[in-house]
């Protein structure tokens, strides 16, 4: 079992064999969670980059395309409805 210690700056060094086994390079970001009497570090996994075409093509809208004016009106109406309900 590898051991490490907390520095005066609140830093913990992960042993080299653990970093290599998980392929964690310098700059890897982690989430920190309290678990019982310790903590768990989990690497943050970023989402793969997506293009607008990939996302828009996955939508299942079968009606006529909306104009920008219609889209703006719908967004404005929804924001007004949410404000009236006290959400924004």
pLDDT (average), residues 20-43: 93
The DSSP secondary structure of 19-45, one letter per residue, reads HHHHTPPTT--EEEEEETTEEEEEE--
Q: Residue 20: what pLDDT?
A: 94
- pTM of this structure: 0.48
pLDDT (average), residues 57-84: 87
Coil, helix or strand for 43?
A: strand
Can you tell me which residue has the tokens 């490490």? 4
Can you tell me which residue has the tokens 């104009």? 67
Q: Residue 10: what pLDDT?
A: 94
C-alpha atoms less than 13 angstroms from C-alpha of 22 in its C-beta half-sphere: 15
pLDDT (average), residues 46-75: 83
Q: Residue 85: what pLDDT?
A: 86
Q: Indicate the pLDDT class of residue 64, thresholds 50, 70 and 90.
A: confident
In contact, 71 and 78? CB cutoff 8 Å: no
Q: Residue 88: what pLDDT?
A: 64
């Amino acid at each position: 079992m590898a051991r490490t210690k907390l520095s005066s700056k609140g830093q913990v060094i992960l042993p080299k064999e653990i970093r290599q086994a998980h392929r964690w390079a310098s700059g890897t970001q982690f989430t920190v969670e309290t678990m019982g009497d310790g903590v768990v570090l989990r690497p943050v996994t970023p989402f793969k980059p997506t293009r607008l075409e990939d996302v828009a093509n996955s939508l299942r809208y079968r009606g006529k395309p909306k104009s920008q004016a219609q889209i703006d009106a719908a967004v404005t109406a929804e924001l007004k409805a949410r404000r009236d309900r006290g959400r924004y």
